[in-house]
Amino acid sequence: MYLTKFIGSLVPIAALMNVALADLRVTADNHSFGGVNFPQLQFLEPTYREEVIRAIVKTNARVIRLFIRGDEHHADPEPEVGEFDRALLNQFDDTLAAIHRISYDRTYYKTRLEVFFRHYASKNFGGRPWSELSEVILGVDVQNEPWSGIWPIPAGESWLCVIATHLRDGLGLGENNIAVITGGISGPQTVDGIQNFPDSAWNCPAVDVIGIHGYFGQGEEGTAGTPWAKLFLPGDTLTGRAIDNKLLLVEEWSYQNTNLGLNYKKQAIFDQGNALNYRGIPWIYSHLTFKDEGTTPKVSILRDSNSAIGALSDVLSRAFRSRSNFNWSKYLAAPSGGLSNLTTLPLNTYIPEQSSCTFGCEGHLCDAADGCRPDFLCKNSICQRPSESQPGKLDPANHAKNEQQYNPGIGGKIAHTTRTIPFVETL
């Protein structure tokens, strides 16, 4: 009897709770906001301070709370009662100005775009706005790395699609066949991350091209091109998701100096361009210079073909007629003279002689079983160590004999003279 009464009493209580919960919901049309405390912001070096403020603004924080006081490393603006240090007050004022300018820039970014692409009358193209110059402009980035260093970006973030839609529909890029590109959203891409292609990019109908930025160096278990080959693996991957949905463009990649040294710069450049060409992904190298290269990724356009520009020119020539699974004809016409019928992967002739391995090593690109050393397996276009359970795994007893066939007395290095570089027409 007691149990029956207790259960029966739950019904009116639950009903009352529903009413109470409904009454607690906010229905007013006023907005709230979020912000952050940053007590030391004003003490940062100005350039770094602005970088920090940009990062804060990108998180959609509306308020930054500052503290007008000193700390253990900085004096108080009022070191003595009634006496004020104007230099310190100026420091706070500079911080206020930086916050205002940077947040204003983001809020009024649409105005900036409108001036560039609608109001400016081209002096070289008959006074037409840039938004109509499809004969010379392939595409426009929403912004270069708008969330640089922030990954993942906030769920449900709308700014990317708002600006993309403004470019495509508001400024007329779409009707003039000029692509809207995402611009490397969160900065450098990793092989297993989504820095450059969050759901907000895929789901935005105004985005035409996913712009990818990636900086990969040569390692012990792969070439500089290996990460690109993995990232754009055909099938149920990034490439598979993009087909018939978005175009893919690697708009930033470059040589990365590693402990191997600058002697490997040409190899690394060719490996990366070769991998992207083989996967059919358009790319843009970052970047050229007319000054000395030093140890930087830059490539001097004025040096001879024995330098890094030779390797870059090589893969650019191959890219000129390479094939892709993506249709770019809306934004860039196909080259005259047809496309290449590449059936074998071009060999990298820029591998230094002092390299510990010059052909078919772990992580090297391959297109067939004989593209790797006998103890490796060509899988997903990459030479890999077979697992212990892999059928046909090399018998260790025969390894030395097979190795000799690929190792004709060149100091332990793998010869690569047994394969032919396919002919590719150059400009």
The residue to which tokens 């900086």 are assigned: 215
For residue 109, give both structure tokens. 């970014």
| pLDDT greater than 60 at residue 122 | yes
At 389 the pLDDT is 66
Q: What is the pLDDT of residues 255-302, one digit of tens each?
A: 999 998 999 999 999 999 999 999 999 999 988 998 899 899 999 998
Q: What angle do CA 257, 261, 262 make, to 5 degrees?
A: 75
Distance CA 271, CA 228 (A): 9
Q: Report d(CA 224, CA 258) in Å as an integer.
A: 10
The pLDDT-based confidence of 425 (bands split at 50, 70, 90) is: very low
Residue 39: its pLDDT value, please? 84
Q: How many Å is the maximal CA-CA distance in the chain?
A: 98
Is pLDDT above 60 for 187? yes
Query: In whole angstroms, what is the distance from residue 308 CA to residue 268 CA?
Result: 10
Q: What is the 3-state secondary structure (H, E, C) of the chain?
A: CHHHHHHHHHHHHHHHHHHHHHHHCCCCCCCCCCEEECCCHHHCCHHHHHHHHHHHHHCCCCEEECCCCCECCECCCCCECCECCHHHHHHHHHHHHHHHHHHHHHHCHHHHHHHHHHHCCCCCCCCCCHHHCCCCCCEEECCCCCCCCCCCCCCCCCHHHHHHHHHHHHCCCCCCCCEEECCCCCCCCCCCCCCCCCHHHHCCCCCCEEEEECCCCCECCECCCHHHHHHCCCCCCHHHHHCCCCEEEEEEECCCCCCCCHHHHHHHHHHHHHHHHHHCCCEEECCEECCCCCCCCCEECCCCCCCHHHHHHHHHHHHHCCCCCCCCCCCCCCCCCCCCCCCCCCCCCCCCCCCCCCCCCCCCECCCHHHCCCCCEEECCEEECCCCCCCCCCCHHHHHHHHHHCCCCCCCCCCCCCCCCCCCCCC
Q: Which residues are registered as beta bridge partners of 180?
A: 140
pLDDT at 398 over 90: no
8 A C-beta contact, residue 184 and residue 211 = yes
Span 326-347, pLDDT tens digits: 999 999 998 888 888 776 789 9
Give the torsion sign (CA, 130, 131, 135, 141).
positive
Place of tokens 């970047």: 287
Q: Which long-range contacts (CB under 8 A, 24 or more apart) does 235-242 make?
A: 238/197, 239/279, 239/281, 239/325, 241/202, 242/210, 242/326
Q: Which of 207-211, 225-229, 234-238, 295-299 has the lowest mean pLDDT?
A: 234-238
Whether 269 and 311 have beta carbons less than 8 Å apart is answered as yes
Q: Please state the domain extents for the chain.
A: 34-107, 125-320
The mean pLDDT value of the chain amounts to 82
Could you tell me which residues come within 8 angstroms of residue 162 by beta carbon, excluding any fewer than 6 positions away?
none
Give the pLDDT confidence of 149-179 residue by residue, as tens digits.
Answer: 888 887 677 889 999 999 999 999 999 999 9
| pLDDT, tens only, 56-67 | 887 778 888 887
- The percent of residues above 70 in pLDDT, for the chain, comes to 82
Task: In whole angstroms, give the CA distance from residue 405 to residue 414.
Answer: 10
pLDDT band of residue 112 (cuts 50, 70, 90) is: confident
d(CA 345, CA 416): 13
pTM of the model as a whole: 0.73
Q: Going edge to edge, which strands form the sheet with 247-253?
A: 139-141, 179-181, 209-213, 247-253, 283-285
Amino acid identity of residue 393, one-letter, is K
Cβ atoms of residues 161 and 154 within 8 Å: no
Range scoring the smallest mean pLDDT among 102-116, 178-192, 234-248: 102-116
Q: What pLDDT score does 31 carry?
A: 67
Task: Give the lowest-confidence range in 133-137, 378-382, 404-408.
Answer: 404-408
Q: What is the rounded CA–CA span in Å between residue 333 and residue 253?
A: 24
Asked if pLDDT for residue 313 goes beyond 50, the answer is: yes
CB count, 10 Å around CB of 333?
A: 8
- Per-residue pLDDT averaged across 2-23, rounded? 46
Q: For position 23, what pLDDT does the model report?
A: 61
CATH T-level topology, domain 125-320 = TIM Barrel (3.20.20)
Mean pLDDT for 243-259 is 94
| Confidence bin at 409 (pLDDT 50/70/90) | very low
CB atoms within 10 A of CB 155: 8
- Say if residue 16's pLDDT is above 70: no
pLDDT at 392: 53
pLDDT greater than 90 at residue 384: yes
Number of neighbouring beta carbons within 10 Å of residue 1: 5
For 117-126, 149-158, 205-214, 291-300, which range has the lowest pLDDT when averaged over its residues?
149-158
**Tokens representing 123?**
């002096």
Q: Phi and psi of 35, rounded to 5°?
A: -155, -170
Q: Say what the pLDDT of residue 51 is.
A: 87
Contact in structure between 180 and 206 (CB atoms under 8 Å):
yes
